[in-house]
Structure 1
Amino acid sequence: MTDTVTGARGTTQTLPPRAYFDADWFEREQLELFGRTWHYAGTADDYAAPGAYRSIQAGRHPLVVVRGHDGELRAFHNVCRHRGTAVLPGSGRVERHIVCPYHNWRYGLDGCLLAVTQRKEVDPGLDRSELGLHPAAAAVWRGLVFVHPDPEPEPLTDWLADLPDRMAPYDPEQLAEVGAARQYHLKCNWKVFMENALDNYHLGYVHKDTLVGYDHKRQEQYRCGERHWYFYEPPLEPGRLPPMDAGSGLKPIAQDPHWYGSSFGLIFPNLFVLTSATWWSSIQVIPTGPETTTLELRARFLPGQTGRIALGALREAASGLVQRVLAQGILRRQPAYDLVEEDVFCCEAVQVGIKSPRFSVGPLAYRLEGGIQTFQRNVLDYVPLEG
């Protein structure tokens, strides 16, 4: 195995147990971590037409990203300047202007306040130039849209550090999305799932029957900058597609056999970009409460393949994060283990254990669990231990 960062032998947990179930800690994360980092806001083709928008929750900041008539993507705090109403809930498209659904204040797609209903009633001398939507920041990388509550944050390219240089050179804009986003609801803290995904110690045990075809002994992992993490595991047979990809009926995206393995990039704090030889996917890990989490998965394949094959392959092969549903007549039958259930079982079992008065963490595998230690230190950078 190749790696650039390992912990010291015998190192263990740095986050206290309450970080995984305490309501006050969860609130601090919402304000101090998710309110101060870049957030995934979908793909560029979600905003293909002028007026297309998506609302995004970044910690306690409701934001909205919208495509302007000039083609530019802009982000704003989704808060009307009159009474604070969300001016664009959900997602969709506006034709010309943003109209607040409460009192019909009207904004341009550039965020400027255009009109106030019954202006004389409100304030005849009102200066509209002072009451535009509060700006946020939006940026695009490889077709992925990110948003930040701060209008002038650290540039996204600097934030990503060298992670883009590590990842498979797939362009999601050149791939076809099949089906709607899939959601999974977990009874555990979001960090439990993040740490499970960074735990390469369990792959040969929990997934011994489902992740066949990958060489756990030759896995590579790298810290990218201060915040992010990259993982790659090659196929057992160099230069040959693993069984899950070979039996999927999908055409390989990868031209270079190096990318026949399984890889993911963690974009801190809560986004994974995963690839195999035949598919690309994003997994957003969304905290919904101190002990609940939602996963949202979106997947893409080479264009021109039938939705039936692609959806069947996604269910069969997406490493550790999608529900296994055998597609009769399309995919080679694999052992009837559900990868997502394997991970969910472990995460929810850990969540129960964390609340035990006898809970403690023993020495971590200094190479195979090095990503967990880095992730925990990064969380503490934003949400330090009190006192």
Structure 2
Amino acid sequence: MEQGRSNGEDPDAGWSLPAWTYADAEFLGMEVERIFRPSWQIVCHLSDIGAPGDFHTLDYLGESVVLIRGDDGMVRGFTNVCRHRGARIVDGTSGCAKKLVCPYHGWTYETDGRLSGVPMKASYGDAFALADHGLSPVAVEAWQGFLFVRLVDDGGPSVAEMMAPYAAEIAPYRFEELRALGRVTLRPRAVNWKNIGDNYSDGLHIAVAHPGLKRLMGEGYGVEASLHADKMWGPILDRPSANLSERAYQHFLPPVPHLPAERQRLWTYYKLWPNFAFDIYPDQVDFMQWLPVSPTRTLIREISYALPDERREMKAARYLNWRINRQVNAEDTALVGRVQAGMASASFTVGPLSEQEVALRHFCGRVRQAIPQARLHRAPAMGWSSGGTGYLGGNKNDEIL
């Protein structure tokens, strides 16, 4: 296994996050404010909202965000909230609208967010001005054809800056030309969001718990961590797998003219801080996002994209890719469920991390940096997040009184 950079400056770098942080409501509240609201979240691809009026929504953290292409061709983001009484304006994950009309009282907004119509406008008084009540904007970034939103701008890096170490690797895949294969799927999981992300970046379990990936990649699976993204990768072996679907994928995967030789049969995964990833295959590109719903519930959101390719071999490869990864997903679902259940035991606090677990070490370090209470092996007393550090001295294994 390849080894990347770990966080040597963190005195707790050799340890996982404590189990209580995977089930504590106050800790999740701190994560929402300090980690999620300032972070970028992937919404869709530019091609998903290609025409004026096309919109796509993302619901998370109690917010609903709508991305819409304006009549001028620009894509803008707004909270999906009427400025009158706070009602949600649009329903569903996607659609097309010439105007955004609130179904409660009929307030009407243009595709650029301007309030343009209010029934009985005169009744709101002379001081009421339409220009003061447009939709609330959110930050939007387009990177390589994908669209991202951020609820709070804390001066953190752009998505382009986060992925800068891997820009040259991604360039040949022609992300901007991708088109959706089907629709976004939503999969609820009864686990903390961090358990899903930890599992995604964990390379040590591949040989143990994913026999299919082991057959396809042998000993070639690698992991590394950069400042804002983890990278995992594995080459598809030429040796035929004993599994029918895997062997068929190896056989049918056709040459991809726009990819360099070293990427013709390479699977690469990039996980971006804090909770989404790109799975990049020669035949398609998927994004996966895990959104917290509660301390012990998460919603996985994912979709596949690909370049137009009518070759029968490519269609077969994409179908087989789905079959292979459906099995991998089922194995991962069982694994993270085991971990979430085991973390409920009073016998478990933190676990040692191998020097090869560079991505996990880096992620844990970033969480501890954002929320120092994550260094405590046992949960602080209730109310710790309302003020103070929650740590009154003594050993980190002590309960906080």
Q: Which TM-score applies when normalising by structure 2? A: 0.81
> d(CA) in 2 for partners of 1:291 and 1:305?
43
* SS of 1:213 mapped into structure 2: helix
Residue of structure 1 equivalent to 2:398: none
Aligned to 1:341: 330
Q: 1:335 — aligned with what?
A: none
SS at match of 2:83: coil
- How far apart are the structure 1 equivalents of 2:235 and 2:317? 22
Distance of 2:48 and 2:292 partners within structure 1: 23
- Output the CA distance in 1 between the equivalents of 2:260 and 2:49: 31
Aligned to 2:323: 316
Bigger shift: residues 349-358 or 115-124: 115-124
**Whole-angstrom distance in 1 between the partners of 2:274 and 2:85:** 31
- 1:117 is the counterpart of 2:119: yes
Aligned to 1:292: 297
The answer to whether residue 192 in structure 2 is matched with residue 189 in structure 1 is yes
Residue segments in structure 1 that go unaligned for 5+ positions in a row: 324-337
Q: Which moved more, 1:99-108 or 1:286-295?
A: 286-295
Q: How far apart in 2 are the matches of 1:35 and 1:230?
A: 24
Code of the residue aligned with 2:260 in structure 1: it is D
Mapped to 2, the partners of 1:101 and 1:214 lie a distance apart of 53
Contact in 1 for aligned 2:87/2:104 (Cα 8 Å) = yes
SS in 2 for 1:211: helix
Inter-partner Cα distance in structure 1 for 2:49 and 2:337: 36
Please list the CA deviations of residues 34-59 of structure 1 after superposition, one character each: whole Å capped at 9, or x if unmatched.
Answer: 11111101111111111111222353
Report if the CA contact (8 A) 2:223-2:231 is conserved: yes
- Give the superposition deviation at 1:378: 2.0
Q: Which amino acid aligns with 2:324?
A: A
1:251, distance to aligned residue in structure 2 (A)? 5.5
Q: CA deviation at 1:143?
A: 1.3
How far did 1:263 drift? 0.9
SS at match of 2:217: coil
- 1:77 is aligned, of 76, 79, 88, to 79
Identify the residue that residue 165 of structure 2 maps to in structure 1. Answer: 162
- How far off is 1:173 after superposition? 3.9
Change (3 A) 1:92 1:360: closer
Give secondary structure in 2 for the equivalent of 1:247. helix
Q: CA deviation at 1:25?
A: 1.6
Distance 2:179 2:255 in 1: 12
Query: After superposition, what is the alpha-carbon deviation per residue over 1:62-83, rounded to whole angstroms, capped at 9, x for unaligned?
Result: 2211100111010112221111
Task: Tell me whether 1:63 sits opposite 2:65 in the alignment.
Answer: yes
Aligned with 1:80: secondary structure? Answer: coil
SS across alignment from 1:277:
coil
CA distance in 1, matches of 2:358, 2:208: 18
Structure 1 pair 52/74, CA: closer, same or farther in 2 (3 Å)? same
Determine if the alignment matches structure 1 residue 205 to structure 2 residue 205. no
**1:103 CA drift (Å):** 1.0
- Correspondence 1:192-271 to 2 at 5 A: 192-216=195-219, 218-224=220-226, 226-237=227-238, 243=247, 245-248=249-252, 252=256, 255-259=259-263, 260-271=265-276
Q: Where is the helix percentage greater, Structure 1 or Structure 2?
A: 2
- Counterpart of 1:141 (choices 105, 130, 143) is 143
Q: Which amino acid aligns with 2:191?
A: C
Letter in 2 for 1:24: E
1:123 & 1:380 partners in 2: Cα distance? Answer: 51
Query: 2:3 aligns to what?
Result: 3
Matched with 2:368 is 380
Out of 348-357 and 131-140, give the one that drifted further: 131-140
- Whether the 8 Å contact between 2:80 and 2:89 is mirrored in structure 1 is yes
Partners of 1:163 and 1:228 within 8 A in 2:
no
Change (3 A) 1:373 1:188: same
CA distance in 2: counterparts of 1:153 and 1:65, whole angstroms:
22
Query: What is the CA RMSD across the aligned residues, in angstroms?
Result: 2.7
Do the aligned partners of residues 117 and 124 (structure 1) sit closer, same or farther apart at CA in structure 2, a change above 3 Å counting? farther
TM-score scaled by length of structure 1 = 0.84
User: Contact conserved, 1:254 with 1:277, CA < 8 A, in 2?
Assistant: no
The alpha-carbon deviation at position 222 of structure 1 amounts to 3.1
Q: Give the direction of change, closer, same or farther, for the CA distance of 1:18–1:301 in structure 2 (3 Å limit).
A: same
Distance 1:234 1:190, change over 3 A: same
Identity of aligned residues (%): 24
Change (3 A) 1:108 1:152: farther
Q: Could you say if the C-alpha distance between residues 248 and 86 of structure 1 is closer, same or farther in structure 2, counting changes exceeding 3 Å? A: farther
Contact in 2 for aligned 1:301/1:310 (Cα 8 Å):
no
The one-letter amino acid of 1:366's match is E
Asked if 2 retains the 8 angstrom alpha-carbon contact of 1:30 and 1:60, the reply is no
Change (3 A) 1:356 1:151: closer
- Higher RCO by CA contacts (8 Å cutoff, separation 6 or greater): 2
Change (3 A) 1:294 1:254: farther
Whole-angstrom distance in 1 between the partners of 2:3 and 2:344: 33
| Count of paired positions | 363
**Which of residues 253, 263, 279 is equivalent to 2:284?**
279
Are 2:47 and 1:45 aligned? Answer: yes
Deviation at 1:118, TM superposition (A): 0.7
**Amino acid in structure 1 at the alignment position of 2:332:** D
Report if aligned partners of 2:16, 2:351 keep a CA contact under 8 Å in 1: no
- CA-to-aligned-CA distance 1:342-372 (integer Å, 9 cap, x gap): 11111000001111000144422211x1101
- The offset of 1:124, in angstroms, is 3.5
